[in-house]
Structure 1
Amino acid sequence: MSRISCPVLARRTASAAEAAALVRPGDSVGISGFTGAGFPKAVPVALADRMQAARARGEDFQIGLWSGASTGPAVDGALAGVHGLSKRLPYNSDPDLRRLINAGEVDYVDAHLSHAAQQAWFGFYGDLDVAIIEVAAVLPNGLLVPGTSLGNNKTWLERAHKVVLEVNSWLPRDLEGFHDVYYGAAVPPHRIPIQLTHPMQRIGDPYLRVDPSKVVAVVETHAPDRNSPLDEPDDNSRAMAALLVDFLRHEVAAGRMPPGLLPLQSGVGSTPNAVMEGLLTAEFEGLTSFTEVIQDGLLDLLDAGKLTSVSATSFGLSPAGQQRFLDNVGSYKGRVLLRSQDISNHPELVRRLGVIAINGMIEADIYGNVNSSHVMGSAIMNGVGGSGDFARNAYLNFFVSDSLAKGGAISSIVPMVSHVDHTEHDVHVLITEQGLADLRGLSPTDRADRVIAHCAHPDYRDRLRDYVDRARAARPEARHTPHLLDEALGWHAAYLREGRM
């Protein structure tokens, strides 16, 4: 049975190839999708085929691609494979596209995820020519039932000159009612406060809206989301989870948060997910979550009754986690709410709700600056994502990482980070498997002492201590944040030169 029950839009059904033919070289294209959920499955592949044929004829065919966050191999992978992208924003995790970005072949705009929609409205990115958006159904009145992510879909539908809809019958029809789409945002000076005071409070509509006159094609598909298996928690991630959970116990005992904690945010990745697993056996009850992605760990907490509700913008489940959700989708209604990412990551709401933010990092330095996006200063890994949205505005934030990488050739604690995503002024707590450093209220030199003592691996601890001592002695008149500028990035330079810090 067709999921397209609007008579006007039902007359615009087309094949993926016909829809792809409506995209022109040089267009800016907004696409649905966030962490492998909710991306269009058919039209981007057909578009890649067009690009490949154009290249065979010696013609240039590239587009700029805007998304919510990462998508899947049918989007970033397919378009990167035919060198079909000239620009990409605001986040990517596809390895083929990453190589093109780092080779300078694709311009990459790495942006805070809460900023992308508003910057599109401000006109910073230029015109949006086409939006390609996956939905679960089109209702008789033309309203759209969203799928497994909302991301920037609302904004792309509003800003695009032309809209292509992919109606995916693989998505459970029971997803209707899982969404809260806020239409009260405005550009300055017309903004008003966003009236949300609890993670599960509804402030918008359960449906996406689209101007029917802009819809140029509706494509029917039946294809699953991309799922990435999560690594099983190892001893290091379990150790970090235990440290974090114990720290939360001390915060409750000190009266700085209630026994049920404050709303939790967990970044994407195996280590933050392992922290959620650590909460399964802890004594905390009645937990809530205000986050961007629902990973398996949050689903586990929901199933165990430890977590009462979760507000997010997307799912980011493993294959097993996805199947568990699909098999029991009805049981999650009323406990899971998906919002547009400009709301799920909104600084005003993160600050008001008092979120506890837990995110991974690539490296941190002795003063608490954190790099979460670049390897050796120049090569992008994925991007800043939503970590800055939450960390800067959280009541309490944690950055977690193994203390070593590349079999011990790299220390995750360094004299100076090679790229700064989160400054020392924004970082509260660092955790490695070696220990936890609470940096709140400390001067830079006190932070350095604590980070080295508690987070650095023993193989590098003495060298870090030596660096700090010599930096303090070198310039007696400049001991606030002492550095040896000719050595500060020397560890990274040594790795690039010799393969070891």
Structure 2
Amino acid sequence: MSGRIAHAGLAALRMDADHAAALIAPGMTVGMSGFTGAGYPKAVPLALATRISDAHERGEPFRLRVLTGASTAPELDGALARAGGIDFRLPYQSDPELRARINRGEIEYMDLHLGHVAQYALFGFLGRIDVAIIEATAILADGRLLPSTSIGNNKTWLDLADKVIVEVNQRQPLGLDGMHDIYYGTAMPPDRKPIPLLHPGDRIGEPYLRVDPAKIVAVVETDAPDRIGRFSPPDDVSKRIAAHLVEFFRHEIRVGRLSERLLPLQSGVGNIANAVLAGLREGGFRGLNAFTEVIQDGMLDLLADGTLEMASATSFSLSPEGVDEFVRNIERYRNRIVLRPQEMSNHGELIRRLGCIAMNGMVEADLYGNVNSTHVAGSSIINGIGGSGDFARNGFLSCFMTPSTAKGGAISAIVPMVSHVDHTEHDVAVVVTEQGLADLRGLSPKQRARAIIAHCVHPDYRPMLADYFERACRDSFGKHTPHLLPEALSWHQRYLNTGSMRA
């Protein structure tokens, strides 16, 4: 294992996870690597959770501010949450235990656009970062780090943290060498300069993470896999959503707004996203590019068969089978995948310049195209906004997708007024359900409402929504964006009261 630690001075700092965890004190702010279950530290957080639990048994307070790239895994978010060791957490999360404690008010949680986290930290809005805990594939002779399967905010944590703990994970393939692109040309306003990236495959930085060796206080050797779950195969609903979106792309090609190679794709994570990717392959598209956040199994398939030419992201999000495929054929993927810091993968300047097509899931949309991506009944967080806002606001096309109903039909995904707004009507171009697709571009609010009702609402709810809209047009205070305020959120309240939105 020591062969992966080529810096003699840092090799001398090798210790076990328990001793490394002992370097972290209560009240500290800790920046962790990890993005969607890839590239997170595997050992130190578990040891830290044990240390926190022991302190609590002695009646001693021990809580931390935890900053990451996005969601991590049970060994990090789950373990620290169960131990009662998290005081504050940002940005995106998906662990059930962490989510439950946030919604019970036990943990303060800040949901934030993924593309904004680095600049928030650099501007000082997140306070002092005491320790960074970063997974690496190897440490070079000059102290630089070969990143692992995600980059996320690692560059920022390494730059800003007072102290650094590095986990060197033997399970991560050395073939990752050369796949990363770390850009060090950012600056604080007013000294910012254009980022010199014109194509998703451009490499504008360095393949390694810089870190001052003097800041590294511990090196922990690990041998553990990333923990990413499998997604179920796309069901009929997901396939129908994908078919509507692929047909829409075909229409845009026919009218000259898109070419046969489309524009760089951004795709969220999950069954619907994978169904869309499969639909593009089955539709005969070739030579496409992706400028996105995560590379899923579906993207590996598209890279392998030529549907995708190049994919830029900040992390992998692969099933165990996908990991096996990637490692087995890593030479095939080396020059066709670029992993960047998330301040680059989610940078508004680059998304706008490249003209990305954003395809993201949602919880619900309302009549006028406002989208809720994060909350149930306006109050309970699910996961977070992730990068959807970065791409919706800045992309060429912002598409939001969802089944038209949930909970066996008890919930309509199209409602009179969303209970929480993540993406305003001004940032939403296309809404898609298995019922159909509503192209909202160039439409007034009432025109948008009629398109959504006609194309996206489930038949069980279409008469209810049409009735609400007609009465709102007649009786609302204003006629530009008609609403009946006493009824606007009544569907959500009815669900909370009765278990169904149906009247």
Task: Give 1:14 shift.
Answer: 1.0
Give 1:142's aligned residue. Answer: 143
| SS in structure 1 of the partner of residue 298 of structure 2 | helix
Give 1:15's aligned residue. Answer: 16
Give 1:131's aligned residue. Answer: 132
| SS in structure 2 of the partner of residue 280 of structure 1 | helix
The amino acid of 1:322's aligned partner reads: V
Distance, in Å, in 2 between the alignment partners of 1:44 and 1:458 is 49
Unaligned runs of 5+ in 1: none
Give 2:196's aligned residue. Answer: 195
Distance, in Å, in 1 between the alignment partners of 2:383 and 2:228 is 17
Task: Give 1:283 shift.
Answer: 2.2
Distance, in Å, in 2 between the alignment partners of 1:307 and 1:103 is 43
Give 2:500's aligned residue. Answer: 500
After TM superposition, list the pairs within 5 Å mapping 1:17-32 onto structure 2.
Answer: 17-32=18-33
Write the deviation string for residues 220-247 of structure 1: whole angstroms up to 9, x where unpaired.
Answer: 0000001111011100000011111111
Give 1:112's aligned residue. Answer: 113
After TM superposition, list the pairs within 5 Å mapping 1:481-500 onto structure 2.
Answer: 481-500=481-500
Distance, in Å, in 2 between the alignment partners of 1:219 and 1:338 is 24
Write the deviation string for residues 82-114 of structure 1: whole angstroms up to 9, x where unpaired.
Answer: 111000001100000000000000000100000
Distance, in Å, in 1 between the alignment partners of 2:93 and 2:226 is 16
Write the deviation string for residues 451-486 of structure 1: whole angstroms up to 9, x where unpaired.
Answer: 0110000000000000001001104x7211000000
Distance, in Å, in 2 between the alignment partners of 1:17 and 1:184 is 37
After TM superposition, list the pairs within 5 Å mapping 1:158-173 onto structure 2.
Answer: 158-173=159-174
Give 1:283's aligned residue. Answer: 284
Unaligned runs of 5+ in 2: none
Give 1:229's aligned residue. Answer: 230
The answer as to 2:237 corresponding to 1:220 is no
Write the deviation string for residues 136-161 of structure 1: whole angstroms up to 9, x where unpaired.
Answer: 00011111100000000000000000
Q: Which runs of 4+ in 1 moved over 6 A?
A: none
Distance, in Å, in 2 between the alignment partners of 1:332 and 1:19 is 35
Write the deviation string for residues 318-339 of structure 1: whole angstroms up to 9, x where unpaired.
Answer: 1211111111112100000000
Distance, in Å, in 2 between the alignment partners of 1:480 and 1:222 is 60
The answer as to 2:370 corresponding to 1:369 is yes
Distance, in Å, in 2 between the alignment partners of 1:236 and 1:312 is 27
TM-score (norm 2): 0.99
TM-score (norm 1): 0.99
The amino acid of 2:60's aligned partner reads: E
Write the deviation string for residues 179-204 of structure 1: whole angstroms up to 9, x where unpaired.
Answer: 00000111111111101000010110
The answer as to 2:397 corresponding to 1:396 is yes
| SS in structure 2 of the partner of residue 167 of structure 1 | strand
The amino acid of 2:479's aligned partner reads: R
| SS in structure 1 of the partner of residue 426 of structure 2 | coil
Q: Which moved more, 1:147-156 or 1:1-10?
A: 1-10
Distance, in Å, in 2 between the alignment partners of 1:207 and 1:303 is 26
After TM superposition, list the pairs within 5 Å mapping 1:53-64 onto structure 2.
Answer: 53-64=54-65
The answer as to 2:267 corresponding to 1:269 is no
| SS in structure 2 of the partner of residue 458 of structure 1 | coil
| SS in structure 2 of the partner of residue 180 of structure 1 | coil
| SS in structure 2 of the partner of residue 392 of structure 1 | helix
Distance, in Å, in 2 between the alignment partners of 1:376 and 1:317 is 31
Distance, in Å, in 2 between the alignment partners of 1:226 and 1:159 is 27
After TM superposition, list the pairs within 5 Å mapping 1:369-448 onto structure 2.
Answer: 369-448=370-449
Give 1:70's aligned residue. Answer: 71
Give 1:176's aligned residue. Answer: 177
Distance, in Å, in 1 between the alignment partners of 2:46 and 2:183 is 31
The amino acid of 1:318's aligned partner reads: S
Write the deviation string for residues 45-85 of structure 1: whole angstroms up to 9, x where unpaired.
Answer: 00001001001101111101000000001100100111110
Give 2:479's aligned residue. Answer: 479
Distance, in Å, in 1 between the alignment partners of 2:231 and 2:212 is 39
Give 1:6's aligned residue. Answer: 7
Write the deviation string for residues 401-425 of structure 1: whole angstroms up to 9, x where unpaired.
Answer: 0000001100000000000000000
Give 1:338's aligned residue. Answer: 339
**Percent identity of equivalent pairs:** 61
| SS in structure 1 of the partner of residue 128 of structure 2 | coil
